[in-house]
Structure 1
Amino acid sequence: MRVLYIICFLFTLGGVAQNDAIAKDYYNNGDFEKALHEYKKLYAQSPLNIPYITKIVSTYQQLEQYDQAEMFLLSIMERLNYPAFFVELGYNFQLKNDLDKANDYYNKALQSIENNPNHVFGIARTFQIHTLLDQAIQSYTKAKALKPEFNFDLQLAQLYGEQGNIERMFISYVDYTLSNPVALNTIKRAINNFITEESTNENNILFRKILLRKIQEEPNVLWNRLLSWLFIQQKDFKKAFIQEKAIFNREEGGLSGLEELALIALNDGQDIIALDIFTFLIDTAQDIDTQLSAYYNTMLIKTKLASKTDYEGINEQYLKIFELYGKLPQTLGIQISYAHFLAFYMDDPKQATEVLEAALELPLTPLEKAEVKLELGDILLLQEKFNKALIYYSQIQRNLKNSTISQEARFKVAKASYYKGDFKWAEAQLKILKSSTSQLIANDALDLKLLISDNKYEDSTQTALKLYAKADLLAFQNKKESAIAILDKILKAHKTEPIIAQALYKQGELFEEKSQYEKAVANYELVIDNYRDGILMDDALFRLANIYLKQFNEAEKAKLLLEQIIFHHADSIYFVEARKLYRTLRGDAIN
């Protein structure tokens, strides 16, 4: 008997859920007569169900049957004490343009809060549903005054936001953060809808002033966290650094915020401030892991910013790090970066190889050994010892099958084959990599495969493609001037071939790396003007927009280029970033 009861109950429950879905579909599709019929059936089964009652009222109103809605509500209120129905009744009179009666019922709803502050939840929510924002705010304010333990800062912030009262909204969000610090990230996401990357934006200025006032009136590390976050959104990493140092000094530890800030600045190309933060971490951190991570990034930045006259000094700094910490598994990342520096910048592949071979003697994990062998392979590629490089790459593929580093090694196998002109074998490897689990490797593999397939059939001797591969190898070898010179040969001798667009684009990238931005602009503009249907069109538009924005401070020119990506290249990998950047330049609030 009990089993039969359970089966009947579940069957009934399933039927109700199905009918509810049918009613919702009718309502959402504007078929209100049928929706009303279905909701009445549901109400008959659950006469205390508030959502069904409100849906019946709403459906009557959609049908402009206001008297029926009123009669239905009054009959419900005779047997059900739910003061939010005062709001529903008032709103029904408002729809009938009887504002006096509407306000009478709204006041009755507010009065019921004075009688019992717990009624605020249904009343305020119902006011908000009907966009009666002033009354909703009044409800929460009244209940909080009567029962101070209530906290409606979050609800009030949302209401102020809907009203466009940005200052009150910010204050409510900030107050809520103080009482609920765990909600900090949620509040950041909410506030992010109302600020931009522009420090001069009115809302940004307002939010900054509120936080600075809070710091003066009631110092709390939360305000520093929010200020730091605001400055990061504005890409003002120097000011964020000041706030993160203040947080560190107040909390006596906790460098995670500074580490995160340093990496954000580094990824954004703000090398100088990133270097300052990493240096602070080196000087301040007590644990070795944080120090070594900071040293690793510091040396990468210094190498990137250095001229040849600085190389000897960088070499000495590497040696000092090894004096301090030794050549142990913990310093493996720095050992690999040092070997790369020796080979690619100091032109000493022999010593670089010795550093890495010594590292292989350390007690390393299989993944760590693979990282060393990957760099050894790269150094052999640098010396154009292709077959020896392939041995290391193949070992990685064999020992760590299906891993990301194994896929990276396969890509390097393809690259090595491409560099030495074995395009058929390179294509075979790249075809496999198109489905790589690493999106970055998959994209790079597809780009290289398209380069080969688009150009290998134009000339039976593949002269231009071989020249381009040579230029690509020279760029990999950090011989930018030689690479640019070979690309010039292609541009002069192969003017009618499709590889010209690729040569112009590659040369533009190299010009950028050498900070020769005027030359880069000329190349990208040639790609845009002459190869509008080519696969490099969106790449050239995006790189050119960034040069105009970051190097020449010409926002209007950047906007025009970003517009072309947004309106004509919706499938571009740059589409999302271009749209966000465009909205920022236009002054929109970015979600």
Structure 2
Amino acid sequence: MKYIFVVTILLSITIGAQNDAIAKDYYAKGEFEKALAEYKKLYYKSPSNINYINQVVSTYQQLEQYDEAEVFLINILERINYPAFLVELGYNFQLKDDTENAQIYYNKALAKIDDNPNHVFGIARLFQSHSLLDEALTAYSKAKVLNPEFNFNLQMAQIYGEQGNIENMFSCYMDFAASSPVALNNVKRAINNFITEDGDHENNIILRKVLLRKIQENPDLLWNKLLSWLFIQQKDFRKAFAQEKAIFNRGAESLSGLEELAQIAVNDEQEDIALEVYTFLIDTAQDIDTQLAAHHNILLIRTKLGNKDDYPGIQEQYLNILNQYGALPQTLDIQISYAHFLAFYSGQPEEATRTLEQTLELPLNPLQQAKVKLELGDILVLQEQFNKALIYYSQIQRNLKNSTISQEARFKVAKASYYKGDFKWAESQLNILKSSTSQLIANDALELKLIISDNKYEDSTQTALKLYAKADLLTFQNKKEAAIVLLDRIIEEHKTEPIVAQALFKQGQLFEAHSQFEKAVSNYERIRANYREGILMDDALYRLARIYNEQYNEKEKAKLLLEEIIFNHDDSIYFVDARKQYRILRGDAIN
């Protein structure tokens, strides 16, 4: 008997869910008479179900049967103590253009909050759902006065945002962040919908004023952190640096904010301020790891910005740091970086190899050993000693199977095979890496595989592909000018082959690296004109847009190029960023 009872209940629930789905489907299709019939059935089975009551009312209103809705709601109010239905009744009068009675019932609903502040939840929600935003704000404000423990800052911020009352919205978000620190990232995301990268944008100025006022009224570190965050969004890293120093000097235990700021500045190619932040970290940090990381990053920046005349000084700085801290496992990253500098910039691959061989004698764990061997393999590739390089890469694969660094080593095996013209072996390795757990490696593997597979059958001797692989190797060897010359040869001698588009694109990237932007634009425009159906079209458009925006300050041209990505290449990896940059150029407040 008990079993039959349970089955009956389950069957009833299932049928109810099906009827609910049918009603929703009718409503969504605009078949409101059918929807009303179904919702009435559901209501009669569950006459206290708030959702069904609301749906019956809504369907009446869709059918413009306002009198029927009014009678239905009055009967409900006599039977159920749910003051939110007063809002619904008022709204029903509003739909009948009877604003006087509408206001009477809105006021009655608000008065119910005085009787019990907990009524605010249903009342304010219904006001908001009917875009009665002033009434919703009144409801929340009234309830907060009656019960100060209520926190409606988030709801009120959202309403102020809908109304365009930006200052009150920011103030409410700040109050919410102060009361709920764990929700700070959510607050930042919400605010980010209303600010831009332009520090002179009206909304940015309002937020800055709100935060400065908060700092004066209540000098909490939260406001400094948010102000720093605002300056970072505006790419005003120097002002962000000032805030981060103030945060640290006022007793913050962590330097993580400063470390993060420095990395963001590097990523945004504002190396000058990044160097200042890293120098501050060296002077301030008490732990060696933070000091070493800062030293390392300074050396990387100096190498990137330097030229041959700067290299002796950079090498001396490397040696001074290694002498100061010692050639220990703790300085492993700096030792590897020093060897890379010697080989790829200073023209001392033999000295680099000796340095790394000495490093391998340290008590390193398997992962640390793999990092050293990876660099040793790269230096051998630099010297075109491919077979020796493959030995190191293979050792990593054997010793650390299925790890990310093992997959990286496999990719380098494929790249070395590709450099020396063994395309078949390279492709077999790349096929494995397409499913790599590292998305970056998987993407790189797929890109290289497409270069090989799209071009290996065009010429039985694979002449153009071999020339392109050689140009790729020259780029890896930091011989960019020689790579440009070789790519020219491909473009001129293999005009009918698909690899020309790839050569144009790679050469364009190299022109950009040499600040030869006119030549880069010429290459990308050739891709745009002649290879519109190719896989590099969106890449060329995106790079053109960046050059016109960042180098030439031709915003309208940049917008047109970004539009082309948005409307014609919605599957592009650049789609999201293109849309964001387009909205920035148009002057929108964006997320």
**TM-score normalised over the length of structure 1:** 0.95
The residue aligned with 2:523 is: 523
**2:62 matched residue in structure 1:** 62
The one-letter amino acid of 2:107's match is: N
Moved more, 14-23 or 214-223: 14-23
Instruction: Give the equivalent residue in structure 1 for 2:377.
Output: 377
In structure 1, the partner of 2:32 is: 32
Answer with 143-152 or 373-382: which moved more.
143-152
Q: How does 1:98-113 map to 2 (within 5 A)?
A: 98-113=98-113
How far residue 104 of structure 1 moved from its aligned partner, in angstroms, is 0.9
1:358–1:6 distance in 2 versus 1, CA, 3 Å: farther
- Written as runs of structure 1 = structure 2, the 5 A alignment for 1:309-458 is 309-458=309-458
Q: Could you list the per-position Cα deviations for residues 330-363 of structure 1 after superposition, in whole angstroms to 9, with x for gaps in the alignment?
A: 2211111111111111111112112212222223
Any unmatched runs of 5+ in structure 2? Answer: none
1:545 equivalent in alignment to 2:531: no
Give the whole-Å Cα distance in 2 for the aligned partners of 1:12 and 1:450.
57
Q: Distance in 2 between matches of 1:46 and 1:494?
A: 76
Q: 1 CA distance for matches of 2:250 and 2:135?
A: 42
2 CA distance for matches of 1:94 and 1:555?
47
Aligned residue in 2 for 1:257: 257
Q: Which amino acid aligns with 1:151?
A: N
Which is worse superposed, 387-396 or 55-64?
55-64
Local SS of the residue matching 2:131: coil
After TM superposition, the structure 1 = structure 2 runs for residues 91-490 of structure 1, keeping only pairs within 5 Å, are: 91-490=91-490
Residue aligning to 1:532? 532
The equivalences for 1:570-589 within 5 A come to 570-589=570-589
Per-residue displacement from partner, 1:483-540 (whole Å, max 9, x unpaired)? 2222233333334433322222222212222223233223222322333233222212
Give the letter aligned to residue 256 of structure 1. S
Q: Distance in 2 between matches of 1:551 and 1:480?
A: 21
* Comparing 487-496 and 241-250, the one that deviates more: 487-496
- Which has the higher mean CA deviation after the structures are superposed, 30-39 or 192-201? 30-39
Question: Following the alignment from structure 2 to structure 1, what is the Cα–Cα distance between the partners of residues 6 and 273?
Answer: 67
Give 1:183 deviation, angstroms: 1.8
Looking at structure 1, the residues matched to 217 and 525 of structure 2 have their Cα atoms a distance apart, in angstroms, of 54
Secondary structure in structure 1 of the residue aligned to 2:250: helix
Q: Distance in 1 between matches of 2:375 and 2:30?
A: 64
Offset of residue 144 of structure 1: 2.1
Structure 1 residue ranges, 4+ long, deviating more than 6 angstroms after superposition? none
- Residue-pair matches, total: 591
Matches of 2:296 and 2:44, distance apart in 1: 70
The residue number in structure 1 matching 2:492 is 492
Shift of 1:107: 1.1
Tell me how far 1:6 sits from its aligned partner.
Answer: 4.6
Closer, same or farther in 2 for the Cα pair 1:509/1:39, shift >3 Å? same
- Three-state SS of the structure 2 residue aligned to 1:251 is coil
Q: Which ranges of structure 1 fall in alignment gaps of 5 or more residues?
A: none
Question: Taking structure 2 as the reference length, what is the TM-score of the superposition?
Answer: 0.95
What SS class does the counterpart of residue 588 from structure 1 fall into?
coil
Paired with 1:7 and 1:502, the residues of 2 have a C-alpha distance of: 66
**C-alpha distance in structure 2 between counterparts of 1:271 and 1:155, whole Å:** 41
Shift of residue 449 of structure 1?
2.3
Q: Which moved more, 1:307-316 or 1:291-300?
A: 291-300
Which residue type is aligned with residue 266 of structure 2? L
Q: Which moved more, 1:563-572 or 1:495-504?
A: 495-504
Percent identity, aligned pairs only, is 73
For residues 536 and 15 of structure 2, the distance between their equivalents in structure 1, rounded to whole angstroms, comes to 56
Question: In 1, Cα distance between the equivalents of 2:18 and 2:492?
Answer: 71
Worse-superposed segment, 386-395 or 227-236: 227-236
> Shift in Å at residue 7 of structure 1?
4.6
Distance of 1:572 and 1:161 partners within structure 2? 32
Secondary structure at the counterpart of residue 311 of structure 1: helix
- Cα deviation, 1:129-188, whole Å, max 9, x if unaligned, reads 111111111111222233333222211111111112222211111122222222211111
